[in-house]
Structure 1
Amino acid sequence: MFGWLAHWLYGTGKRPDPAVLDKIVDRTDPRLRLLSGYERALGKGAGTSLAFCAALGGRLGEPLPLSLRSFTTDRRLGLFFSSPASLLSALEHSGSLSDFFSSPSLGDEAHALLLMQRTEKQRFGREERNGEVVNDVAQTVVSFDRHRIVLASPSRDALLAALPGRGLEVLLAVASRHLANEGRVKTELESELMHIDMKLATLAHPANSITQGLPSGCRPLPDSRHALEVLRRDTQKRLTLIKRMTELPGVLQTVRHILEHPDDYFRLRPARLALDRMGVLQPDGAEGSDITRIDLEEVMLGHGEPFCRAVVPVTITRSALLELRQGFGGEAALSS
């Protein structure tokens, strides 16, 4: 009977889980609890972000098995990893996978997400055209590194169910970096304003120069009083704005905006690549037995110049992990 009240307060049909709100505040700025009404301010965004992250699961394709056999039969693995040993290293360094196989009740097959950074480098190489080898051809070489395996789950459904929580964690990390960057900008502007004031004081009293002690990293300042005063007004204006954003009400507004507009900071886009066995990018429509087609999703995090990670759903069995370990060494912790 009080559903209308929850809708008015939080913008949804139910009050957000207090644990979710606690996580949001803890990951961004615990001081937000000092503000009256912070739960109401963040409630709608919490629901929006969780719903947004839950929808991401529908974009994932079929899982890629991680095993020694797959490494020899599926050329995608040879492009993602330099060798079976590097695949094993990624598996061994996954805390999520370690926890999964340490619990026999979860089963012998884990469904997880493989995260990688895709890098493109330009080079000049050789290329065969109409039966002839051509030198100094501009090529784009694609490589994958910084592998991480996360969200190990007993089934695909369980993996999809874990995605909203994981997505919220990632979004909150983006928000935390955004807030930290605003704090850094505030500190830099305060330092610049102080240096401008010192330069103005030196111009007013040349005999009492106080600019000799300025840090070497300070950017050069203009020598004319007029230019300094113009720069000071501009710096003061920017500092006033950033101060409002770094004070608690401003922090709350920033976190609220990110939660209510998650697609501005957390985007998933499909990527389709055609690569030869050396990782050289091929044009769309290229055919040949040497070409491997890769479909994956890429997560774009942040605003402006986003941080990018390739995402591939994978499976790994206990026996496949043991086979890799027996062939290429590794820890025994996951085989128990």
Structure 2
Amino acid sequence: MGIIGRLFGDKRKHAPRDEEVERMVARVVGLSPRLRLAQGHEARLTSAIAKAAAHLRELVAAFPSPRALSPASWAADSYVRAFFGAADDVGPALGRSTELYTFFEQQPGLNEAFAVLGMAMNERRTLGVAQEGDVTRSDVAQTTLSFSDHQIRICAPSDAELRQEIGRRMVDQLAIEGLARMAADTSRRDDLEQERALVAARLRLLERQGVGMQSVLGGGGEVDTGELARLRVQLEENDKELQNLGSRSEALDRQLDRVCEVFADAGALIHVSARSLRLSRMNVVLPEQGADDGHTLDLEIARVPGDPPRERAFALVRVARVDVPKPRNLLDEAARLL
């Protein structure tokens, strides 16, 4: 069984236990220990996470092989050249990664790390210079592509272990989304109960204007029948929403359902799309078919759930220890400048 099979389990084997899925269940419960109190939480989470595994397996398996990332690879690799404006930009980007430096510090016997390079991808419409036949024009509409906010946050000793870690982070992200839905459910219940109390109090005040001695002697003002009817309708709608949320004794089961729903909907929440672009050496987007000297790049774009969701370009990379500069000591730098 390959690494992806070991990570997510092999569907062809209907084994009663899947140790990796069990570890994922424990990882999710560790993020929200309250879920342990829900009836049958382990079986329900196992079923939901096993379904998400098929989608995550396909995502991880489809990632391209890691490419060398270094100042030296900038000239030879069209991807690295597209990601960075110049060879001198690669080193500082590697040096900014505390995780990469820490990884090498903790792994003194390793000379190479496998990592994920994440980037923001920016497209910009500009007017540029282009050759049209024998005429050089300087007002040609062009689209340029640039990459910024280069980050390396996770590292591993091998390609296989890196993909395992990516799978774990995906599970974490889905669990976080599930917790967010749990919180929203609880918050909505609190809002409804507070609103119900306010409406009920207002309703009692209005009804009292037409009962008891006040209805005989007056002095309380006219009863606003329109307001009274509106509040009664609002109270009924509020009660229906509270009933739909269930009783507080069912809260844990409901919260577990929210988490399971997230894993069942993993395909919509976490996905990676490939985008093919033909770029010039200056990162100008070129027509798919043309005489211009360009390179076709298949870029990987990941959708990260959140509020709002974000999209980031990424690539799996190999980084040599010798290419990672030491972190800058700001105090030493300040002393040097003084």
Normalising by structure 1, we get a TM-score of: 0.70
Shift of 1:183: 4.5
Q: Which residue of 2 aligns with 1:126?
A: 128
CA contact (8 A) 1:67 1:320 kept: yes
Q: Taking structure 1 as reference, are residues 93 and 238 closer, same or farther at Cα in structure 2, changes over 3 Å only?
A: farther
Distance 2:206 2:289 in 1: 67
2:73 pairs with one of 70, 74, 79: 70
1:13 pairs with one of 1, 11, 16: 16
Distance 2:87 2:273 in 1: 28
CA contact (8 A) 1:117 1:147 kept: yes
Q: Does 1:270 align with 2:274?
A: yes
Shift of 1:86: 4.8
Cα deviation 1:228-250 (Å, max 9, x = unaligned): 76666556655654577992111
Q: Does 1:101 align with 2:104?
A: yes
2:264 pairs with one of 260, 263, 280: 260
Select between 99-108 and 58-67 the one with higher mean Cα deviation. Answer: 99-108
Q: Which residue of 1 aligns with 2:253?
A: 249
Report SS of the residue matched to 2:285: coil
Distance 1:267 1:153 in 2: 22
Shift of 1:277: 4.3
Normalising by structure 2, we get a TM-score of: 0.69
Look up the equivalent residue of 1:254 and give its one-letter code.
R
Shift of 1:68: 1.1
Identity %: 23
Q: Does 1:144 align with 2:147?
A: yes
Distance 1:99 1:153 in 2: 11
Shift of 1:103: 3.3
Q: Which residue of 1 aligns with 2:30?
A: 26
Q: Which residue of 2 aligns with 1:298?
A: 301
Distance 1:77 1:288 in 2: 20
Look up the equivalent residue of 1:125 and give its one-letter code.
L
CA contact (8 A) 1:274 1:282 kept: yes
Cα deviation 1:109-141 (Å, max 9, x = unaligned): 1111112232334x342352623425373x444
Distance 1:136 1:198 in 2: 68
Distance 2:149 2:186 in 1: 29
RMSD of Structure 2 on Structure 1 (CA): 3.9
Cα deviation 1:52-103 (Å, max 9, x = unaligned): 4344332121322211112244343343234556533432343442232113
Q: Does 1:168 align with 2:171?
A: yes
Q: Which residue of 2 aligns with 1:214?
A: none
Distance 1:225 1:86 in 2: 69
Larger Rg: 2
**1:164-313 correspondence to structure 2 within 5 Å:** 164-183=167-186, 185=188, 237-238=240-241, 240-241=243-244, 247-289=251-293, 291-302=294-305, 306-313=309-316
Q: Which residue of 2 aligns with 1:53?
A: 56
CA contact (8 A) 2:278 2:288 kept: yes
Distance 1:43 1:260 in 2: 11
CA contact (8 A) 2:95 2:324 kept: no
CA contact (8 A) 1:16 1:46 kept: no
Distance 2:285 2:205 in 1: 59
Distance 1:235 1:257 in 2: 25
Select between 302-311 and 92-101 the one with higher mean Cα deviation. Answer: 302-311
Distance 1:279 1:235 in 2: 56
Distance 1:25 1:298 in 2: 29
5+ unaligned residues in a row in structure 2: which ranges?
Answer: 1-13, 210-225, 331-338
Q: Taking structure 1 as reference, are residues 302 and 202 closer, same or farther at Cα in structure 2, changes over 3 Å only?
A: farther
Name the count of aligned residue pairs: 297
Shift of 1:164: 2.6
CA contact (8 A) 1:12 1:47 kept: no
2:114 pairs with one of 111, 114, 130: 111
